[in-house]
Amino acid sequence: MIQPQLILLREGTDTSQGKPQLISNINACINIVDMIKTTLGPCGMDKLIHNGRDVNISNDGATIMNLLEIEHPAAKSLVDIARAQDDEVGDGTTSVVVLAGELLKESKQSIEDGIAPQVIIKAFRSALSVAMQTLDNLCVPFPKEKDASHEDLIRCAETALNSKLINTERRFFAEMAMRAVTTLDDDMNLDMIGIKKVTGGSMKDSVLVDGVAFKKTFSYAGFEQQRKKFDNPKVLLLNIELELKAEKDNAEVRLKDPKQYQSIVDAEWKIIFDKLDKCVNSGANVVLSRLPIGDLATQYFADRDIFCAGRVAVDDMNRVALATGGVVQSSLNNVPAEVLGSCQLFEERQVGAERYNFFTGCQNSKTATIILRGGAQQFIEEADRSLHDAICIVKRAIRTGSVVGGGGAIEMELSKVLREYSRTIRGKEQLVISGYARALEIIPRQLAENAGHDSTDNPQQASPERTT
Ligand SMILES: Nc1ncnc2c1ncn2[C@@H]1O[C@H](COP(=O)(O)OP(=O)(O)OP(=O)(O)O)[C@@H](O)[C@H]1O
Ligand SMILES: [Mg+2]
């Protein structure tokens, strides 16, 4: 006898399934897309998002999706695609969400018409492979010579910045993005481009430092007596604490005779002075440490014409190491000359209201720092996100070595090719593929709508009779 199937679910579980659930999931996604699509393109509007405490103004799709704090499980997948696009490419996060929404809208129609989701997925996959082949044929390669491609790279970055708050200065920032990425080595690790934000000043006061710059770290008495500028300095990089207190705190000593206490104190002083002597004897002019450099060490270095900075952030330290060719030391027992870094100029300078340490003119500089300036914190945050998009696009363009037309042109062409392809197919898949082709048109349509144009107007047909 056939046993009846029993499925036990926890109380309160939502058991809705089948077609109505599919449609409801798609509707949730479409609601999110409707919200974000108005930010697409150069005439798209920025969003202001207030979460009770902070206010964020952004045009970046991934940022807006993150800030929306979406709860719906299906709509959350849109956040994931925006995030994946941000990690993988850096730009185009709004486009992927808008496109995904439109594809869902088209599949909703097919589902309502009774086409099985499996058929839709199969047809979408074959449409995708045709679209990818067409893209390969349509892309325009960059010139092969390195310098000749610079102008193209700047134009790519400018296009990415078109839709951003800083678009009035897009040439300035696009050049900066191009120069920053081209200083990197072949693996183009974008962590090697530091972006520092200093409020105050105008946008055009932003600078690209060919080397490393970081904010002055916490300093102790004696720091003011240190020299703040060195030509061709030797740089010693440490992961060691240069503080007297450290020796005291880390040891437990039991004494029988109080007189022995002095010998312990002497030993502690000897240890720290030994370390400091080794730093001085290494021939370094600048000593940086990831860990604190205390007041004793600061004064000791000041007396010997050495600059020091403790508590340097890990990423800044790594970039100094890379730029100057130094090696971070965890012990001072043996410091050969090769582990010292070098650059043409070290300087501590005022930037806005902050003091900054600059290491410039590094021979094997594979790192750059951008110091962003601007009136308001909000503005600098958005400028940072926009510049990140432009930098990612330059990197991507160098990697792929080719571009396709923007402004919805490539989407229209793909749509046309897919429509023709769909006509060669029989059955339900033809409907689905032509739906895919229609979905691609959302990009030019939305760009036109955001710019205040009628997306169904055909400018070539717009004759004078029609307008009068
Ligand atoms: N000058 C322009 N004229 C017409 N369209 C443009 C122009 N500049 C850029 N675009 C188009 O704008 C779209 C990009 O818009 P936008 O930068 O707002 O969104 P995104 O790149 O998809 O997402 P995000 O930048 O938020 O990660 C692209 O389709 C691009 O072709
Ligand atoms: Mg963009």
Among 159, 387, 441, the mutation site with the greatest number of ligand 1 atoms within 8 A of its Cβ is: 159
What is the whole-number distance in angstroms between the Cα of residue 173 and the centre of ligand 2?
Answer: 14
Report the pLDDT value the prediction gives residue 20, as an integer from 0 to 100: 83
Cβ neighbourhood burial of 83 (10 Å; 0-12, 13-18, 19+): middle
Name which residue sits closest to atom 30 of ligand 1, judged by CA: 407
Catalytic residue flag (residue 456): no
Q: Which residues of the chain have pLDDT under 50?
A: 463-468
Contact 119, 432 (CB under 8 A): yes
Identify the structural domains of the chain with CATH numbers, from first to last: 19-140+405-451 (1.10.560.10), 211-246+256-364 (3.50.7.10)
Report the pLDDT value the prediction gives residue 466, as an integer from 0 to 100: 41
Q: Which residues of 327-356 are buried (b: 16+ CB within 10 A; e: fewer)?
A: ebbeebeebeeebbbbbeebbbeebeeeeb
Contact 392, 89 (CB under 8 A): yes
Report the pLDDT value the prediction gives residue 424, as an integer from 0 to 100: 94
What is the whole-number distance in angstroms between the Cα of residue 123 and the centre of ligand 2?
Answer: 29
Report the pLDDT value the prediction gives residue 249, as an integer from 0 to 100: 61
Report in angstroms the alpha-carbon separations of 355 from 12, 372, 422.
59, 14, 63
Each residue's pLDDT tens digit, 403-446: 899 899 999 999 999 999 999 998 889 999 999 999 999 999 99
DSSP element (H, E) containing 67: helix 61-67
Best CA proximity match to 98, nearest among 386, 391, 450, 459:
450
DSSP element (H, E) containing 393: helix 377-400
Torsion of CA 390, 395, 400, 403, to 10 degrees: 20
Catalytic residue flag (residue 86): no
DSSP element (H, E) containing 238: strand 234-238
What is the whole-number distance in angstroms between the Cα of residue 234 and the centre of ligand 1?
Answer: 46
Considering only CA atoms, give the Rg of the chain.
30
Contact 180, 55 (CB under 8 A): no
Q: Record the tokens describing residue 46, joined without a space.
A: 């920025």
State how far Cα 140 lies from the chain centre.
26
Among 33, 40, 79, the mutation site with the greatest number of ligand 1 atoms within 8 A of its Cβ is: 40
Name which residue sits closest to atom 6 of ligand 1, judged by CA: 407
Report in angstroms the alpha-carbon separations of 323 from 237, 308, 338.
12, 18, 14
Each residue's pLDDT tens digit, 107-133: 999 999 889 999 999 999 999 999 999
Out of 39, 93, 159, 217, the active site residue is 93
Report the pLDDT value the prediction gives residue 245, as an integer from 0 to 100: 64
- Give the whole-angstrom CA distance, residue 92 versus residue 431: 28
Q: Which ligand is nearest to the CA of 38?
A: 1
> How many of the other CB atoms lie within 10 Å of CB of 171?
13
Mean per-residue pLDDT over the chain, rounded: 87
Contact 115, 432 (CB under 8 A): yes
What is the whole-number distance in angstroms between the Cα of residue 98 and the centre of ligand 2?
Answer: 13
Catalytic residue flag (residue 94): yes
DSSP element (H, E) containing 218: none
Report in angstroms the alpha-carbon separations of 446 from 352, 440, 454.
41, 11, 10
Out of 39, 94, 298, 367, the active site residue is 94
Residue bearing tokens 């600078």: 207
Task: Give the pocket of ligand 1 (CB within 6 Å).
Answer: 39-42, 44, 59-61, 91-95, 159, 162-163, 389, 406-407, 443, 447
Q: What is the pTM of this model?
A: 0.83
Name which residue sits closest to atom 7 of ligand 1, judged by CA: 407
**Which residues on adjacent β-strands are paired with residue 371?**
196, 207
Please report how many Cα atoms fall inside a 13 Å half-sphere around the Cα of residue 242, on the Cβ side: 34
Catalytic residue flag (residue 60): yes
Report the pLDDT value the prediction gives residue 120, as an integer from 0 to 100: 94
Name which residue sits closest to atom 15 of ligand 1, judged by CA: 41
